[in-house]
Amino acid sequence: EIVLTQSPGTLSLSLGERATLSCRASQSVSSNYLAWYQQKPGQAPRLLIYGASSRATGIPDRFSGSGSGTDFTLTLSRLEPEDFAVYYCQQYGSSLLTFGGGTKVEIK
Amino acid sequence: QVQLVQSGSELKKPGASVKVSCKASGYTFTNYNMNWVRQAPGQGLEWMGWINVNTGNPTYVKGFTGRFVFSLDTSVSTAYLQISSLKAEDTAVYYCWTHDRPRGAFDIWGQGTMVTVSS
């Protein structure tokens, strides 16, 4: 099983600031099959990034994904009010799909 | 539009069973397999497994074997999750989810069904 460790657990930032979220895998993620999701309270997860760096349909370009192998990053270039949420990474490179524990981005 | 609509919240007693439905619309149901994901209160996302929508063959992740059953009714484009012998620790939101991985762009979630197990 590939274990995904997200850091930090909570990120306290102000509007307009840059957010950098990390996702580290316990072993290399095949073909960089790594996705990022955003989840707001009471809502289902929403796909932001797939294939480590491809933005999903309708996702603003202030969201970007990067990384390969075992280290991946989600960057939000300028935080907007609607960006405060919990973010999860997910790997789908193995037959056993796994999620990270999440990073909460909160308003400072 | 493309969507998955799940059945409503359930309150069950320990030992009872529950069946959650997930109805697909806006796309060809048999084109994409169906997954189930659990989220306990205040916790993260756990992938429970998936069901092949063409063969009906389910695959369960460790920890979701025995009491959990995935099934389909393709005639009404609906997937089901049944949980038997409910325990308090089964209290969670259960999501159905379909996608086209590894291509990646098609990714649809149901709105979630809250199952509460309490005496």
pLDDT (tens digit, 9 = 90+) per residue, A32-52?
999 999 999 999 999 999 999
**Statement: residue B4 has pLDDT above 90:** yes
pLDDT band at A59 (very low <50, low <70, confident <90, very high): very high
Give the pLDDT confidence score for residue B102 in this predicted structure: 81
Residue B75 sits at the chain A interface (C-beta within 8 Å): no
pLDDT at B101: 84
Average pLDDT, stretch A2-13? 97
- Mention every residue, 6+ apart, whose C-beta is less than 8 A from residue B29: B53, B74, B77
> Over 90: is that where the pLDDT of B71 sits?
yes
Helix or strand or coil: residue A85?
Answer: coil
The whole-angstrom separation of Cα B6 and Cα B65 is 22
Look up residue A82 and give its DSSP letter: G
pLDDT for residue A107 is more than 80: yes
* A33 with B102: Cβ contact below 8 A: yes
Q: Output the pLDDT for position A46.
A: 97
Residue A29 banded pLDDT, cuts 50, 70, 90 = very high
Instruction: In whole angstroms, give the CA distance from residue A40 to residue A32.
Output: 26
Chain B residues inside the 8 Å CB shell of A37: 45
Is B109's Cβ below 8 Å from some Cβ in A? yes
- The encoded tokens of residue B41 equal 């209160």
Once rounded to an integer, what is the mean pLDDT over residues A68-82? 97
So what's the pLDDT on residue B47? 98
Shortest distance between the Cα of B29 and any Cα of chain A, in A, equals 20
Q: What is the mean pLDDT of residues B26-41?
A: 97
Confidence of residue B105 (pLDDT cuts 50, 70, 90): confident
Contact A97 B105 (CB under 8 A): no
From CA B4, how far away is CA B111, in angstroms rounded?
A: 7
Distance to chain A for B43, nearest Cα, Å? 8
Output the pLDDT for position B24: 98
Confidence of residue A27 (pLDDT cuts 50, 70, 90): very high
Q: What is the C-alpha to C-alpha distance for residues A97 and B102, in angstroms, rounded to an integer?
A: 12
Could you give the percent of chain A with pLDDT greater than 90?
99
pLDDT of A43 reads 98
Question: Would you give the distance in Å from CA B79 to the centre of its chain?
Answer: 7
Cβ(A51)–Cβ(B104) below 8 Å = yes
In this predicted structure, the answer to whether residue B104 has a pLDDT above a threshold of 80 is no
Nearest to B104 among A44, A50, A100 (CB): A50
Q: Nearest Cα to B96, choosing from B45, B43, B62? A: B45
Contact partners, residue A53, CB within 8 Å, separation at least 6: A32, A64, A65, A66, A67
d(CA A82, CA A45): 14
Contacts of B96 in chain A (CB under 8 A): none
What residues contact B90, with CB distance under 8 A and at least 6 apart?
B83, B115, B117
CA distances from B84 to B16, B37, B50, B118 (A): 6, 17, 18, 14
Q: How much is the mean pLDDT over chain B?
A: 96
pLDDT at B62: 95
- Looking at residue A10, its pLDDT comes to 97
Q: Is B107 on the interface with A (CB under 8 A)?
A: yes
Query: How far away is chain A from the Cα of B102, in angstroms, using its nearest Cα?
Result: 7
Which of B82, B69, B70 has the alpha carbon at shortest distance from B17?
A: B82
